[in-house]
């Protein structure tokens, strides 16, 4: 579904991604784990078209997308839940969710209205599905998003991404800044999303949580993939255990 070949990106003189290659097959959950500053966010931003690729290729559904603007990539079915969530605190929960449907709703041209009525862009139906997944968002739908806890805001950010009806959901550190118990809730939701057929690309410093839900994973260090394998292989790897599953990470998840 997603295929990345020798991807390079950075900021000004700073070269961050130094030739990243990876792939995600339909229905898979793939984790990219790495320390703070390794380039995980830069990788997802580049796939999402928020940051321009300097070299290399990104293919989604066998089509190159690395020259596409961000909103077209969302319309193609590839959506990012950004690090830090970026929800609109002064809008209600429901308004935040509806914003997630904006790019797909706008894409519905008048001559496609019948399709939309037939449910292709059934915004109310999608909203109901998101409410089913996150009961708390339904309960708090008319509350200002800024009043939600960190975990609830993360659920809102995931819900908002789901409003665009993605086929590939990319998540940037969904466990960051979230209480340990809530991390479990969020990861349970990720498992449910995967079971429902959604393809997932997840980046995390919290290797333990990410590898527990992922089928496969990659380890990124200073903009390069240094290790890859099944989640099991990575969990068993001494390098991963030492650098990413050490004592200091255990407290986040347990
Ligand atoms: N907007 C930016 N401008 C300049 N440098 C940045 C910017 N964002 C990130 N960086 C730098 O790029 C490198 C990779 O950052 P990032 O992709 O955010 O890493 P990670 O998400 O793995 O923590 C870091 O050295 C960081 O300081
Ligand atoms: Mg990051």
Sheet holding 78-81, edge to edge: 78-81, 168-172, 199-204, 29-33, 216-221, 224-230
Closest to 91 (Cα-Cα) out of 54, 141, 16: 141
What separation in Å is there between the alpha carbon of 22 and the centre of ligand 2? 18
Question: Which residues lie with the beta carbon below 6 Å from any ligand 1 atom?
Answer: 11, 14, 16, 34, 36-42
| Buried residues in 192-202 as b, exposed as e (16+ CB within 10 A) | ebbeeebbbbb
* Amino acid 49: pLDDT: 97
3-state secondary structure of 219: strand
For 199-237, the pLDDT digits (tens) are 999 999 999 999 999 999 999 999 999 999 999 999 999
Residue whose CA is closest, atom 24 of ligand 1? 37
- Both structure tokens of 102: 């904006």
Cα 213 to Cα 180: distance, rounded to the nearest angstrom:
16
Using CA atoms, how far residue 59 sits from 14, 33, 249, in Å, is 24, 21, 33
Mean pLDDT across the stretch 183-199? Answer: 93
Cβ partners under 8 Å of residue 131, min gap 6: 137, 138, 141
What is the position in ligand 1's atom list of the atom closest to the CA of 36? 23
**What ligand is nearest to the CA atom of residue 15?**
1
Kindly tell me if the per-residue pLDDT of 119 is higher than 60. no
Cβ atoms 201, 46 nearer than 8 A:
no
Domain at 2-253: CATH architecture: 3-Layer(aba) Sandwich (3.40)
* Chain-centre distance for alpha carbon 4: 16
Ligand closest to the CA atom of residue 176: 2
The predicted-structure confidence for 19-43, as pLDDT tens digits, reads as follows 999 999 999 999 999 999 999 999 9
Residue 43 CA to ligand 1 center (angstroms) comes to 10
Q: Taking the CA of residue 62 as centre, how many other CA atoms within 13 Å lie in the half-sphere pointing to its CB?
A: 0
Domain spans, the chain: 2-253
Q: Measured in angstroms, how far is the CA atom of residue 148 from the centroid of ligand 2?
A: 22
Q: Which ligand 1 atom is at minimum distance from the Cα of 43? A: 17
Determine the distance separating the centroid of ligand 1 and the alpha carbon of 38, expressed in angstroms.
8
Indicate the pTM of the whole model: 0.90
């Amino acid at each position: 579904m997603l295929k990345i070949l020798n991807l390079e990106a950075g900021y000004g003189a700073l070269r961050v991604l130094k030739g990243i290659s990876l792939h995600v097959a339909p229905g898979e959950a793939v984790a990219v784990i790495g320390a703070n500053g390794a380039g995980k966010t830069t990788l997802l931003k580049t796939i999402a078209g928020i940051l321009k690729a300097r070299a290399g290729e990104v293919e989604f559904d066998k089509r190159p997308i690395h020259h596409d603007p961000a909103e077209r990539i969302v319309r193609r079915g590839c959506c990012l839940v950004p690090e830090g969530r970026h929800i609109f605190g002064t809008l209600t929960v429901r308004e935040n969710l509806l914003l997630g449907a904006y790019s797909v709703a706008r894409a519905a041209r008048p001559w496609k209205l019948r399709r939309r009525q037939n449910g292709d862009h059934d915004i109310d139906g999608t909203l109901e599905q998101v409410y089913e997944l996150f009961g708390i968002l339904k309960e708090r739908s008319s509350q200002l998003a800024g009043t939600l806890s960190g975990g609830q805001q993360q659920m809102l950010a995931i819900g908002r991404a789901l409003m665009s009806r993605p086929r590939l959901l990319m998540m940037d550190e969904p466990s960051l800044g979230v209480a340990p118990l809530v991390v479990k809730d969020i990861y349970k939701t990720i498992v449910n999303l995967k079971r429902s057929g959604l393809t997932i690309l997840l980046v995390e410093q919290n290797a333990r949580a990410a590898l527990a839900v992922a089928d496969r994973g990659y380890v990124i260090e200073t903009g390069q993939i240094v290790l890859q394998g099944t989640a099991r292989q990575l969990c068993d790897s001494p390098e991963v255990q030492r650098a990413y599953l050490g004592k200091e990470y255990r407290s986040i998840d347990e």
